Protein backbone atom coordinates (compact mmCIF):
# COMPACT_ATOMS: atom_id res chain seq x y z
CA UNK A 1 0.00 0.00 0.00
CA UNK A 2 1.29 3.48 -0.91
CA UNK A 3 1.49 5.81 2.07
CA UNK A 4 0.37 9.43 2.06
CA UNK A 5 3.99 10.46 2.61
CA UNK A 6 5.13 8.46 -0.44
CA UNK A 7 2.47 10.15 -2.55
CA UNK A 8 3.55 13.58 -1.33
CA UNK A 9 7.19 12.84 -2.18
CA UNK A 10 6.22 12.00 -5.78
CA UNK A 11 4.28 15.20 -6.28
CA UNK A 12 5.84 17.99 -8.36
CA UNK A 13 7.06 21.31 -7.10
CA UNK A 14 4.69 24.14 -8.08
CA UNK A 15 6.73 26.95 -9.64
CA UNK A 16 5.09 30.32 -10.22
CA UNK A 17 6.26 32.43 -13.16
CA UNK A 18 6.74 35.69 -11.27
CA UNK A 19 6.51 39.09 -12.93
CA UNK A 20 6.24 38.61 -16.69
CA UNK A 21 8.24 41.79 -17.37
CA UNK A 22 11.15 40.70 -15.17
CA UNK A 23 13.64 37.85 -15.18
CA UNK A 24 11.25 35.34 -13.57
CA UNK A 25 10.19 33.51 -16.75
CA UNK A 26 13.80 33.31 -17.94
CA UNK A 27 15.26 31.88 -14.74
CA UNK A 28 12.38 29.43 -14.38
CA UNK A 29 13.19 28.03 -17.81
CA UNK A 30 16.95 27.97 -17.17
CA UNK A 31 16.52 26.15 -13.87
CA UNK A 32 14.06 23.55 -15.15
CA UNK A 33 15.95 22.84 -18.39
CA UNK A 34 18.77 21.24 -16.44
CA UNK A 35 18.95 17.45 -16.53
CA UNK A 36 19.03 17.27 -12.73
CA UNK A 37 16.02 19.57 -12.29
CA UNK A 38 13.25 18.24 -10.01
CA UNK A 39 9.79 17.35 -11.26
CA UNK A 40 7.92 20.63 -11.47
CA UNK A 41 4.78 22.23 -12.82
CA UNK A 42 5.04 25.87 -13.90
CA UNK A 43 2.04 28.11 -13.27
CA UNK A 44 2.10 30.99 -15.72
CA UNK A 45 1.39 32.35 -19.16
CA UNK A 46 2.63 30.02 -21.95
CA UNK A 47 3.10 32.91 -24.36
CA UNK A 48 5.18 34.90 -21.86
CA UNK A 49 7.30 31.82 -21.18
CA UNK A 50 7.79 31.26 -24.91
CA UNK A 51 8.99 34.83 -25.20
CA UNK A 52 11.52 34.09 -22.46
CA UNK A 53 12.50 30.86 -24.23
CA UNK A 54 13.39 32.89 -27.31
CA UNK A 55 16.06 34.62 -25.22
CA UNK A 56 17.75 31.27 -24.69
CA UNK A 57 18.02 30.45 -28.40
CA UNK A 58 18.07 26.96 -29.84
CA UNK A 59 18.93 25.38 -26.49
CA UNK A 60 15.49 26.22 -25.09
CA UNK A 61 13.18 23.32 -24.37
CA UNK A 62 9.66 23.43 -25.83
CA UNK A 63 6.78 24.70 -23.70
CA UNK A 64 4.19 21.96 -23.12
CA UNK A 65 0.84 23.62 -22.39
CA UNK A 66 -1.34 21.54 -20.05
CA UNK A 67 -5.13 21.76 -19.98
CA UNK A 68 -5.09 20.77 -16.30
CA UNK A 69 -2.42 20.09 -13.66
CA UNK A 70 -3.31 16.39 -13.78
CA UNK A 71 -1.97 16.25 -17.36
CA UNK A 72 1.58 16.59 -16.05
CA UNK A 73 2.01 12.81 -16.17
CA UNK A 74 1.59 12.91 -19.96
CA UNK A 75 4.15 15.67 -20.52
CA UNK A 76 6.98 14.50 -22.83
CA UNK A 77 10.57 14.56 -21.54
CA UNK A 78 12.75 17.62 -22.11
CA UNK A 79 9.73 19.90 -22.16
CA UNK A 80 8.65 22.59 -19.70
CA UNK A 81 5.12 21.77 -18.44
CA UNK A 82 3.04 24.93 -18.06
CA UNK A 83 -0.50 25.35 -16.78
CA UNK A 84 -2.23 28.70 -17.21
CA UNK A 85 -4.52 29.30 -14.20
CA UNK A 86 -7.89 30.92 -14.95
CA UNK A 87 -7.85 34.69 -14.64
CA UNK A 88 -4.55 35.53 -16.34
CA UNK A 89 -4.78 38.84 -18.20
CA UNK A 90 -4.17 39.12 -21.93
CA UNK A 91 -1.05 40.54 -23.53
CA UNK A 92 1.60 39.40 -21.07
CA UNK A 93 3.88 38.34 -23.92
CA UNK A 94 4.07 41.91 -25.28
CA UNK A 95 4.70 43.77 -22.03
CA UNK A 96 7.78 45.99 -22.22
CA UNK A 97 10.68 44.32 -20.48
CA UNK A 98 11.72 45.88 -17.21
CA UNK A 99 8.71 48.12 -16.61
CA UNK A 100 6.06 48.09 -13.91
CA UNK A 101 2.71 46.98 -15.32
CA UNK A 102 -0.51 46.13 -13.48
CA UNK A 103 -1.14 43.21 -15.83
CA UNK A 104 2.10 41.58 -14.69
CA UNK A 105 1.08 42.15 -11.07
CA UNK A 106 -2.34 40.62 -11.68
CA UNK A 107 -0.81 37.58 -13.38
CA UNK A 108 1.65 37.07 -10.53
CA UNK A 109 -1.18 37.20 -7.97
CA UNK A 110 -3.31 34.74 -9.97
CA UNK A 111 -0.45 32.24 -10.15
CA UNK A 112 0.35 32.50 -6.44
CA UNK A 113 -3.27 31.97 -5.44
CA UNK A 114 -3.65 29.05 -7.85
CA UNK A 115 -0.52 27.38 -6.45
CA UNK A 116 -1.85 27.61 -2.89
CA UNK A 117 -5.23 26.23 -3.90
CA UNK A 118 -3.56 23.29 -5.67
CA UNK A 119 -1.54 22.47 -2.58
CA UNK A 120 -4.66 22.67 -0.45
CA UNK A 121 -6.25 20.08 -2.76
CA UNK A 122 -3.26 17.78 -2.40
CA UNK A 123 -1.65 18.62 -5.74
CA UNK A 124 2.05 19.44 -5.46
CA UNK A 125 4.59 19.09 -2.64
CA UNK A 126 5.78 22.71 -2.23
CA UNK A 127 5.66 26.14 -3.85
CA UNK A 128 8.67 27.86 -5.38
CA UNK A 129 7.94 31.43 -6.40
CA UNK A 130 9.85 33.43 -9.01
CA UNK A 131 10.31 37.14 -8.18
CA UNK A 132 7.38 39.54 -8.27
CA UNK A 133 7.44 43.33 -8.34
CA UNK A 134 5.71 44.93 -5.38
CA UNK A 135 4.73 48.05 -7.36
CA UNK A 136 3.11 45.94 -10.06
CA UNK A 137 1.27 43.94 -7.43
CA UNK A 138 0.02 47.13 -5.82
CA UNK A 139 -0.98 48.62 -9.18
CA UNK A 140 -3.47 45.83 -9.72
CA UNK A 141 -5.22 46.52 -6.40
CA UNK A 142 -3.66 43.70 -4.39
CA UNK A 143 -3.29 44.97 -0.84
CA UNK A 144 -0.39 42.73 0.21
CA UNK A 145 3.11 44.22 0.11
CA UNK A 146 4.74 40.97 -0.94
CA UNK A 147 4.69 37.22 -1.27
CA UNK A 148 4.93 36.55 2.46
CA UNK A 149 1.83 38.50 3.45
CA UNK A 150 -0.21 37.19 0.51
CA UNK A 151 0.68 33.57 1.23
CA UNK A 152 -0.18 34.09 4.89
CA UNK A 153 -3.66 35.32 3.98
CA UNK A 154 -4.24 32.52 1.47
CA UNK A 155 -3.23 29.91 4.05
CA UNK A 156 -5.90 31.01 6.52
CA UNK A 157 -8.59 28.38 7.15
CA UNK A 158 -12.06 29.35 6.02
CA UNK A 159 -13.45 31.76 8.59
CA UNK A 160 -10.26 31.54 10.64
CA UNK A 161 -7.24 33.66 11.39
CA UNK A 162 -4.17 33.53 9.13
CA UNK A 163 -1.24 31.64 10.66
CA UNK A 164 1.62 33.67 12.14
CA UNK A 165 4.47 33.54 9.64
CA UNK A 166 8.03 34.79 9.44
CA UNK A 167 10.51 35.31 6.65
CA UNK A 168 13.79 33.38 6.70
CA UNK A 169 16.66 34.00 4.32
CA UNK A 170 19.11 31.15 4.19
CA UNK A 171 22.16 29.84 2.42
CA UNK A 172 24.63 27.09 3.27
CA UNK A 173 26.41 29.32 5.80
CA UNK A 174 23.76 31.42 7.51
CA UNK A 175 20.03 31.29 8.32
CA UNK A 176 18.29 34.46 9.48
CA UNK A 177 14.66 34.79 10.61
CA UNK A 178 13.05 38.23 10.79
CA UNK A 179 10.65 39.63 13.37
CA UNK A 180 9.41 42.40 11.04
CA UNK A 181 9.60 42.48 7.24
CA UNK A 182 8.02 44.71 4.59
CA UNK A 183 7.31 47.98 6.32
CA UNK A 184 9.00 51.33 6.84
CA UNK A 185 11.80 51.17 9.37
CA UNK A 186 10.04 53.73 11.58
CA UNK A 187 6.94 51.52 11.56
CA UNK A 188 8.99 48.41 12.32
CA UNK A 189 10.40 50.07 15.42
CA UNK A 190 6.89 50.97 16.52
CA UNK A 191 5.50 47.44 16.20
CA UNK A 192 8.40 45.54 17.77
CA UNK A 193 7.32 44.07 21.09
CA UNK A 194 7.70 41.12 23.46
CA UNK A 195 5.04 39.00 21.75
CA UNK A 196 6.51 39.57 18.30
CA UNK A 197 9.96 38.44 19.36
CA UNK A 198 8.67 35.45 21.33
CA UNK A 199 6.39 34.38 18.47
CA UNK A 200 9.34 34.56 16.07
CA UNK A 201 11.43 32.36 18.33
CA UNK A 202 8.62 29.81 18.54
CA UNK A 203 8.09 29.76 14.77
CA UNK A 204 11.82 29.43 14.07
CA UNK A 205 12.18 26.61 16.61
CA UNK A 206 9.22 24.61 15.28
CA UNK A 207 10.24 25.15 11.65
CA UNK A 208 13.71 23.80 12.33
CA UNK A 209 12.19 20.76 13.99
CA UNK A 210 10.10 20.18 10.87
CA UNK A 211 13.22 20.00 8.71
CA UNK A 212 14.94 17.63 11.08
CA UNK A 213 16.76 19.91 13.54
CA UNK A 214 14.91 19.26 16.77
CA UNK A 215 16.95 21.55 19.03
CA UNK A 216 18.31 24.46 16.98
CA UNK A 217 20.65 26.93 18.66
CA UNK A 218 19.00 30.30 18.09
CA UNK A 219 20.92 33.55 18.51
CA UNK A 220 18.91 36.74 18.93
CA UNK A 221 20.39 39.92 17.50
CA UNK A 222 19.80 43.09 19.44
CA UNK A 223 18.18 46.11 17.85
CA UNK A 224 20.56 48.82 19.03
CA UNK A 225 24.36 49.22 18.77
CA UNK A 226 26.09 46.82 21.14
CA UNK A 227 22.63 45.41 21.94
CA UNK A 228 21.84 48.61 23.81
CA UNK A 229 24.90 48.51 26.10
CA UNK A 230 22.74 48.05 29.18
CA UNK A 231 20.32 50.79 28.17
CA UNK A 232 22.89 53.42 27.18
CA UNK A 233 22.00 53.21 23.46
CA UNK A 234 18.34 52.21 23.71
CA UNK A 235 16.26 50.09 26.03
CA UNK A 236 14.38 47.77 23.66
CA UNK A 237 16.70 44.92 24.60
CA UNK A 238 15.90 45.38 28.29
CA UNK A 239 12.16 45.97 27.85
CA UNK A 240 11.15 43.13 25.54
CA UNK A 241 13.94 41.38 23.59
CA UNK A 242 15.76 39.85 26.58
CA UNK A 243 12.46 39.00 28.36
CA UNK A 244 11.27 37.22 25.20
CA UNK A 245 14.50 35.21 25.08
CA UNK A 246 14.01 34.17 28.70
CA UNK A 247 10.37 33.22 28.07
CA UNK A 248 11.42 31.11 25.08
CA UNK A 249 14.07 29.35 27.14
CA UNK A 250 11.42 28.57 29.76
CA UNK A 251 9.50 26.77 26.98
CA UNK A 252 12.53 24.62 26.12
CA UNK A 253 13.72 26.70 23.16
CA UNK A 254 17.51 27.09 22.98
CA UNK A 255 17.44 30.87 22.47
CA UNK A 256 20.38 33.05 23.50
CA UNK A 257 21.04 36.77 23.54
CA UNK A 258 20.38 39.48 22.69
CA UNK A 259 23.82 39.82 21.17
CA UNK A 260 25.49 42.81 19.53
CA UNK A 261 24.05 42.83 16.01
CA UNK A 262 27.36 43.82 14.40
CA UNK A 263 29.06 40.56 15.45
CA UNK A 264 26.39 37.90 15.98
CA UNK A 265 26.12 37.06 12.27
CA UNK A 266 29.84 36.35 12.08
CA UNK A 267 29.53 34.10 15.11
CA UNK A 268 26.63 32.19 13.51
CA UNK A 269 28.24 31.80 10.09
CA UNK A 270 28.83 28.11 9.46
CA UNK A 271 31.81 27.62 7.13
CA UNK A 272 33.57 24.45 8.26
CA UNK A 273 36.20 23.30 8.90
CA UNK A 274 37.80 26.65 9.75
CA UNK A 275 34.68 28.38 11.03
CA UNK A 276 31.95 26.15 12.45
CA UNK A 277 29.02 28.33 13.46
CA UNK A 278 28.12 28.84 17.11
CA UNK A 279 24.41 29.00 16.21
CA UNK A 280 22.02 27.37 13.75
CA UNK A 281 19.70 30.35 13.29
CA UNK A 282 19.79 34.07 13.97
CA UNK A 283 16.64 36.07 14.77
CA UNK A 284 16.92 39.71 13.67
CA UNK A 285 14.51 42.51 14.45
CA UNK A 286 14.17 44.26 11.07
CA UNK A 287 14.34 43.44 7.36
CA UNK A 288 17.64 44.97 6.27
CA UNK A 289 19.25 44.36 9.65
CA UNK A 290 18.96 40.62 9.05
CA UNK A 291 19.14 40.26 5.28
CA UNK A 292 22.26 42.28 4.49
CA UNK A 293 24.61 39.70 6.11
CA UNK A 294 23.02 36.79 4.22
CA UNK A 295 23.04 38.58 0.89
CA UNK A 296 26.61 39.72 1.39
CA UNK A 297 27.64 36.06 1.48
CA UNK A 298 26.20 35.62 -2.02
CA UNK A 299 22.82 36.42 -3.53
CA UNK A 300 23.24 33.54 -5.96
CA UNK A 301 22.93 30.96 -3.18
CA UNK A 302 20.35 32.67 -0.99
CA UNK A 303 16.85 31.30 -0.52
CA UNK A 304 13.80 32.99 0.97
CA UNK A 305 11.66 30.61 3.05
CA UNK A 306 8.30 31.48 4.59
CA UNK A 307 8.11 29.86 8.03
CA UNK A 308 4.81 29.11 9.73
CA UNK A 309 2.77 28.19 6.66
CA UNK A 310 1.04 24.78 6.51
CA UNK A 311 3.14 24.05 3.40
CA UNK A 312 6.68 24.68 2.19
CA UNK A 313 7.36 27.84 0.19
CA UNK A 314 10.75 29.02 -1.06
CA UNK A 315 11.95 31.63 -3.52
CA UNK A 316 15.21 33.17 -4.75
CA UNK A 317 16.55 35.97 -2.60
CA UNK A 318 16.65 38.55 -5.40
CA UNK A 319 14.03 40.62 -7.17
CA UNK A 320 12.76 41.01 -10.71
CA UNK A 321 16.04 42.56 -11.96
CA UNK A 322 14.29 44.91 -14.37
CA UNK A 323 17.67 46.33 -15.41
CA UNK A 324 18.63 43.08 -17.18
CA UNK A 325 15.19 41.69 -18.05
CA UNK A 326 14.89 40.65 -21.70
CA UNK A 327 18.63 40.44 -22.28
CA UNK A 328 19.00 36.69 -21.78
CA UNK A 329 21.75 37.02 -19.16
CA UNK A 330 19.87 36.29 -15.92
CA UNK A 331 21.50 33.87 -13.47
CA UNK A 332 19.24 31.07 -12.21
CA UNK A 333 21.53 29.98 -9.34
CA UNK A 334 19.34 31.34 -6.54
CA UNK A 335 16.21 29.80 -8.05
CA UNK A 336 17.99 26.46 -8.33
CA UNK A 337 18.93 26.78 -4.66
CA UNK A 338 15.27 27.50 -3.89
CA UNK A 339 14.22 24.37 -5.78
CA UNK A 340 16.73 22.26 -3.85
CA UNK A 341 15.63 23.68 -0.51
CA UNK A 342 11.95 23.13 -1.36
CA UNK A 343 12.72 19.49 -2.10
CA UNK A 344 14.70 19.08 1.13
CA UNK A 345 12.21 20.84 3.39
CA UNK A 346 9.14 19.15 1.91
CA UNK A 347 10.89 15.79 2.11
CA UNK A 348 11.73 16.34 5.78
CA UNK A 349 8.18 17.47 6.53
CA UNK A 350 6.75 14.37 4.87
CA UNK A 351 9.11 11.97 6.65
Q: How many other β-carbons are positioned within 10 Å of the β-carbon of residue 287?
A: 18
Task: Please report which helix (H) or strand (E) contains residue 6, including its range.
Answer: helix 4-10
Assess whether pLDDT exceeds 90 at residue 211.
Answer: no
Q: What is the pTM of this model?
A: 0.89
Beta 303-307 vs 218-221: how paired, if at all?
A: unpaired
Which residues lie closer than 8 Å to 70 by C-beta, 6 or more apart?
123
Mean pLDDT, to the nearest integer, of 159-175?
A: 91
CA gap 344, 347 in Å, rounded: 5
Average pLDDT, the chain: 92
pLDDT tens profile 58-117: 889 999 999 999 999 999 999 999 999 999 999 999 999 999 999 999 999 999 999 999
Query: What pLDDT sits at residue 348?
Result: 62
pLDDT tens profile 233-277: 889 999 999 999 999 999 999 999 999 999 999 999 988 888 889
Q: Which residues pair with 224 in a beta bridge?
A: none
Cβ distance 129 to 31 under 8 Å?
A: no
Instruction: Give phi and psi for 99, each to the nearest 5.
Output: -130, 145
Assess whether pLDDT exceeds 80 at residue 173.
Answer: yes
Assess whether pLDDT exceeds 80 at residue 7.
Answer: no
Q: What are the structural domains of the chain?
A: 1-163+309-351 (3.40.718.10), 172-297 (3.40.718.10)
Query: What pLDDT sits at residue 58?
Result: 87
Bigger pLDDT: 143 vs 75: 75
% of the chain surpassing 90 pLDDT: 77
CA gap 292, 145 in Å, rounded: 20
* C-alpha angle 221-258-198 in degrees, rounded to nearest 5: 85
CA gap 26, 138 in Å, rounded: 23
Burial class (CB in 10 A: 0-12, 13-18, 19+), 105: buried
Task: Please report which helix (H) or strand (E) contains residue 106, including its range.
Answer: helix 102-120
Assess whether pLDDT exceeds 90 at residue 43.
Answer: yes
Q: In what order do the strands lie in the sheet with 281-284?
A: 63-66, 80-83, 40-43, 13-16, 126-129, 313-316, 303-307, 166-170, 175-178, 281-284, 218-221, 255-259
Q: How confident is the model at residue 306 (pLDDT cuts 50, 70, 90)?
A: very high
Write the DSSP string, 207-219. HHHHTT-SS--EE
Beta 13-16 vs 80-83: how paired, if at all?
A: unpaired
* C-alpha angle 16-18-22 in degrees, rounded to nearest 5: 150
Query: What pLDDT sits at residue 210?
Result: 78
Amino acid sequence: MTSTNDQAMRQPLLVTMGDAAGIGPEIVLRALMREDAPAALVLGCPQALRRAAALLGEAAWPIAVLDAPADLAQCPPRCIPVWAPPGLPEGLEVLPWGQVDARAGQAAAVCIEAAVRLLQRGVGRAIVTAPIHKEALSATGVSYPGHTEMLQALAAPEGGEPPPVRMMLANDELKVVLVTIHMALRRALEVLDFEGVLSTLRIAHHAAAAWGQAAPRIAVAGLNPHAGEGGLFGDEELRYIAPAVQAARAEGIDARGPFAPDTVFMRARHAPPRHPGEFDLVVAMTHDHGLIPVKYLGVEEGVNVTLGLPFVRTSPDHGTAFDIAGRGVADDASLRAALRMALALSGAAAA
